[in-house]
Structure 1
Amino acid sequence: MTFRTLCLLTAALSISLFAILLLYPPLIYSIFAIPAHESADLLARRAAMLFLGVAVLSWNFRGANAPQTQRAFSLGTIVMMLGLASVGIFELARGFAGFGILFAIITELAIAAAFVKLLRSLKA
C-alpha cells in the first residue's frame, strides 16, 4: 500500500470516528459493550476532537513525498495505533470492554502493520 493510500485510509477512519464520537457516542458504547454515562459522553466528545486532528493531519500529509516526512508521520501513526490497540486489549482482558472492541483492535493493528511495512520499504 502506498503512503498516500494509507494516509487516505487513516483520514477516512478518523473522520468517521470523529463524527460518531461527537454526534452519537452510544454507538461506540454499544459496540464496546460499555455503559453509557454523562462522563463517558464528555470523554467521547473530547476524543472526537483528537480524531478530527488526526484526520486533518492524515489528509494533509497524503501528498508528502519526502522520505523523512513519511517516516515521521508513519512513526507517529504506528505509536498511536499500537497504543490504542494496547489499551483495547488491556480493557478487554480486565473485562471492562466487550468483544466488540476486537474490531477496533484488529483495525488498529492492521493500520500499524501497514505503516510498519511502508517504513521498511522506505529504508530500502
Structure 2
Amino acid sequence: MTFRHVAILTSFLFLVLAIAWMFFPEQMLTQWGVLYSDGAGLVSRRGAVFYLGVAVMFFMARNTEHSAARMALIKGMITICTVLILLGVYELSVGHASDKILAAVLIEAILGLAFIYAWRTSNKANNLNKQWEKI
C-alpha cells in the first residue's frame, strides 16, 4: 500500500467521520454509551471540522513525492492513531464508554499500521533512489 492509497483512504474515512460527527453527534455518542448533551454536541460538531480539515489535507497531499512534509503527515497520523487507541482503551477500562468503542479502536489500529507501512516503504524507496543517484 503506497502513501497515495493510504492518503485517499484517510481522506475518505475522515470525510465520513466529519459528516457523522457534524450531523449525527447524538447517534455517534450513543453508540459508545455516552450520554448526549448540548455541550457534547458542540464539541462533537467542532471536532468534525478537524476531521474535515484532515480529510482535505490528505486528499490534496495524495500525490506528494517523498519529502519532509509528507513524512510529517505520516508521523502525525501515526501519533493521532496511537493516542486515539490508548484513549479508547482507557475510556472503556474506566467505564466511560461501552465496548462499541473497540470498533473505532480497531479502525484506528488498522489506519495506524497502514501509515507505518507507508512510512517504511517510503523510506526504502527514498534510500533506493539515493543509491541510484550515486551510480
Shorter-chain TM-score range: over 0.9
Is the contact between residue 66 and residue 122 of structure 2 (CA under 8 Å) also seen in structure 1?
no
Q: Secondary structure at the match of 1:34?
A: coil
Return structure 1 stretches of 4+ with deviation > 2 angstroms: 66-70
Once the two structures are TM-superposed, the CA of residue 73 in structure 1 deviates from its matched residue by 1.2
Partner Cα separation in structure 1 for residue 95 and residue 118 of structure 2: 34
In the alignment, what sits opposite 1:27? 27
Partner of 2:103: 103
- 1:1-124 mapped onto 2 (5 Å cutoff): 1-124=1-124
For structure 1, the 5+ residue unaligned runs are none
- TM-score with structure 2 length normalisation? 0.87
Checking the alignment, whether the CA contact within 8 Å between 1:67 and 1:122 is kept in structure 2 is no
**TM superposition shift of 1:68:** 3.1
Corresponding residue pairs, total: 124
Provide the identity percentage.
Answer: 29
Deviation at 1:69, TM superposition (A): 3.2
- One-letter code aligned to 2:73: F
1:27-83 alpha-carbon deviations (Å, 9 max, x no partner): 211221111111110110111011011111111111101243332211011111111
Structure 1 or 2, whichever has the larger Rg, is 2
Amino acid in the other structure paired with 2:2: T
Q: Cα distance, 1:5 vs. partner?
A: 0.9
- CA shift for structure 1 position 87: 1.1
Secondary structure of 1:62's match? coil
Provide the secondary structure at the position in 2 that maps to 1:97. Answer: coil
Compute the RMSD of aligned alpha carbons: 1.1
Counterpart of 1:69, as a letter, is A
Q: Distance in 2 between matches of 1:39 and 1:65?
A: 41
